[in-house]
Amino acid sequence: MLDAYRENTLFFNSELCRGCGMCAAVCPHGVFELRDRKAVLVRRRACMECGACQKNCLAGAIAVESGVGCAAAMIHAALRGRKEVSCDCS
């Protein structure tokens, strides 16, 4: 499988990518970019696992266990004493 990566719960298979660019458009953390008519993982570790990319990928090239990163954001906010918690997952 060409360019298949797993980082935490994010899985991307570039062979299935149709190059629509929706993953790059909806990702709040800039995990994907469109290059040469294909999505490319450019900031894998920035993924908050919100699931927006998976929900918008009609090709089924992306899978993510949604919610794990948001839970981590909540824990970090609590540890830092912040009242407002935001993982940018709308």
pTM over 0.75: no
Domain spans of the chain, in order of start: 4-79
Looking at residue 32, its amino acid is F
- Which of 23, 57, 59 is CA-nearest to residue 40? 23
Q: How many Cα neighbours within 13 Å face the side chain of 65?
A: 8
pLDDT tens per residue, range 47-74: 888 889 999 999 999 999 876 666 666 6
CATH architecture for segment(s) 4-79: 2-Layer Sandwich (3.30)
Is residue 76 scored above 60 in pLDDT? yes
